[in-house]
Structure 1
């Protein structure tokens, strides 16, 4: 495939910047590491694009924000936190071999950040372009969500540089996702002398696991998956407490509301047992309507490009729910996110950098209401107004 009106990017330079970012480890919730990472991300942006990349302090760590000036037109969105603890680099250093770049965070999502910056660097005019690189995407984006939504509404179009889907496809839809914790309180007693005097929290948990799993509706794209359970203290004590953790994914706002209501009304089966529920579906669904206009532009630039709806969430879920046109999966082509075999396909890096350049060029010259807004079709969020 040949990208139309290609720009000149250096793969060697991208690899060196990728090495720089990977070798500054940035595990979520490690403020010192994230502080060093944010400064490095800002330095890479400034060295390639000029201007000033500001560090926006937060309780989760510093976010990085850069603007090309002028009226905001497009937001480049990513994150610099990773899931790997400090010391991972020593065991799994950055390497380039057999057409792949490997190392912690190389695919999710430092490779995408590098491609975005180098694609932008090849453009003559970056007015209207903003970059936001957050510090807490991997742990829920609690400190960055308000800033993400503010800049998305201001810009009117969002390009998310999470890693591509399998085969290099863009991510044109995402499920909403969240987690719940179900805590069960029973009553302890001696398991041999008087088990009937207790209220067995583990048995109650077993009932709840079955009730919770039954909330899934695969035909509607809804998965409700109990993932972690703990109960009891000793093998001769009737368990007085149990805790369940549940992963939830939904495709529509109606399903989000249904599942959240069902968790709120969970009831105990055993007399004397008590249940408390915490959690929600924090990332709303990203419907395919959010990406339709932008994906059409991407396919004009790169004929044959595929789009795919995926189960995982990203910060693009937040921007799409506001009615802001959002296209995801524009980052590195590769795989192994969150795993030891994480990798980036080097031969695809230049093409993806060219794709961001082409999309940004098109968005900077598009009418304000062209591909820059979408009206949510799933009843979630509302169409924003441009201020």
Structure 2
């Protein structure tokens, strides 16, 4: 099994697929389709192209989906990275751009499903823009999740192999300040200094965070002014928000939109808002408990649940009310970094766990009430 899995991973890794390169993502989709067809047999996947970006969907059986298996084939690595960081397996470690995040997870999904005696009720979705925040696949992911009884996300495991049972929700904002220009030496009092207004607002925005609740509100990229001797007429700051609960996401959103100007005559405009809802612990609790039981049955080490600050498509599936378990992919480290790697010792056991979980859910997960299977 491991040799076949590694052959699939190699084929996927060696087709570079940076999210921003539509042609590269299209090439990668064809490789994913070919590898998946060889492993799964049956009809080829549906190719769903949205705004020039290719996503792949396999549906098994005539009935409604009971389990959605979710991955992505795009990466953060530009074409040409393979020349510097080639695919390699040595010393029990697999390396290569995108191997951990998350081409090994996609290959694991193929392997896990291929070994099942029955596949009815399974949908496998592999998207091509997750690293960008899923701008063209979000609706697809959410519609598939709404029709399924459970969602299993093949993002890499947390450090040490933990499953990701909570993910923070993400909001992104831009605050734009409009002031009035004036000569900084001759008549600064005639201006409305956007930089000063921005400084007041940055302190207010940063104070919206709540360490006790795990809420971070971080002003990031900031710009103001046009020249060193002019009172700045405009400025802006980007804001990154991470929250553990929907209530906190709503609180920060309301506060951002109610920010009052400090300087007389300054005008504030806030754009953006919540991008991904939080995946709260309740969304994963039942699935995680079942995964723990299956791990024991398979003789695997005890599973640990981990809360993480990063977001994934698991946030989207959980946001639809679908029970979601994330971090079921490869165990390793260095995602988005030059030392990205996968630990081979974990692959057989984790793939077996995934297969067992899919098998159980395809029989036991409920058909979502009040939804229509999007076939």
> Which of the numbers 361, 366, 369 marks the counterpart of 1:368?
366
> Quick one: distance in 2 between partners of 1:85 and 1:199?
43
CA contact (8 A) 1:78 1:132 kept: yes
1:385 aligns with 2:370: yes
Residue-by-residue CA offset, 1:103-129 (whole Å, 9 max, x unaligned):
221111111111111122122222211
User: Structure 1 residue 60: deviation in Å?
Assistant: 5.5
Q: Secondary structure at the match of 1:234?
A: coil
Residue 310 to residue 207, structure 1, CA distance change in 2 (3 Å): same
Do 1:334 and 1:345's aligned partners in 2 also have CA atoms closer than 8 Å?
Answer: yes
Distance 2:295 2:39 in 1: 25
* Residues 126, 220 of structure 1: alpha-carbon distance in 2 compared, 3 angstrom cutoff: same
- How large is the RMSD of aligned CA atoms in angstroms? 1.6
Q: Secondary structure at the match of 2:134?
A: coil
Q: Does 1:59 align with 2:51?
A: yes
2:74 to 81, 87, 99: 81
Give a deviation string over 1:229-256, Cα, whole Å, max 9, x none.
1222222222222121111011111111
Q: Which stretch shifts more, 213-222 or 116-125?
A: 116-125
Partner-residue secondary structure (3-state), 1:90: helix
Determine the C-alpha separation between the residues in 1 that align with 2:270 and 2:365.
47
SS for the counterpart of 1:85 is: coil
Partner of 1:184: 177
**Which stretch shows the higher mean deviation, 265-274 or 155-164?**
265-274
> For 1:29-79, what per-residue CA distance to the aligned partner results, in whole angstroms no more than 9, with x for missing partners?
321111111111111111100121111010150110011223222111011
Matched residue SS, 1:302: helix
In structure 2, C-alpha distance between the alignment counterparts of 1:220 and 1:124, rounded to whole Å: 45
What is the deviation of 1:386?
4.3
Offset of 1:367 from its aligned partner? 5.6
- 1:265-284 map, 5 Å: 265-284=258-277
Question: Which residue of structure 1 lines up, in the alignment, with residue 215 of structure 2?
Answer: 222
Q: Is residue 164–residue 330 contact of structure 1 (8 Å, CA) maintained in 2? A: yes
Q: Secondary structure at the match of 2:183?
A: coil
CA–CA separation in structure 2 for the residues paired with 1:137 and 1:367: 26
TM-fit CA distance, 1:224: 0.4
What SS class does the counterpart of residue 187 from structure 1 fall into?
A: coil
Matched, 1:345 2:355: no
- Using the TM superposition, name which of 314-323 and 161-170 deviates more: 314-323
Q: CA deviation at 1:177?
A: 0.7
Q: 2:150–2:365: 8 Å Cα contact kept in structure 1?
A: no
1:326 is aligned to 2:324:
yes
Equivalent residue runs for 1:87-102 within 5 Å = 87-102=80-95
Runs of 4+ in 1 over 6 A off after TM superposition: none
The reply on whether 1:70 has 2:55 as its aligned counterpart is no
- The answer for the alignment partner of 1:5 in structure 2 is none
Q: With the length of structure 2 as denominator, give the TM-score of the two structures.
A: 0.93
**Pick from 111, 114, 117: which aligns with 1:118?**
111
The one of 95, 101, 106 aligned to 2:99: 106
Aligned equivalents of 1:13 and 1:126: distance in 2?
A: 20
Match of 1:154 in 2: 147
CA distance in 2, matches of 1:331, 1:190: 58
> In structure 1, what is the equivalent of residue 19 of structure 2?
28
What 5-or-longer segments of structure 1 have no aligned partner?
1-9, 374-383
Unaligned runs of 5+ residues in structure 2 are 297-301
**Which of 112, 121, 134 is residue 141 of structure 1 equivalent to?**
134
CA distance in 2, matches of 1:307, 1:119: 21
Q: Is 1:29–1:61's contact at 8 Å kept on the other side of the alignment?
A: no
Give yes or no for contact 2:71–2:154 (8 Å, CA) kept in 1: yes
For 2:160 and 2:52, locate their aligned partners in 1 and report how far apart those are by CA, in whole Å.
Answer: 33
Give the distance between the partners of 2:305 and 2:52, measured in 1 at CA. Answer: 32
- 1:141 is displaced (CA, Å) by 1.5
Report the counterpart of residue 299 of structure 2 in structure 1. Answer: none
How many residues are matched? 365
Q: Partner residue of 1:305?
A: 303
Q: Is the 8 A contact 1:29 1:60 kept in 2?
A: no
CA–CA separation in structure 1 for the residues paired with 2:85 and 2:236: 34
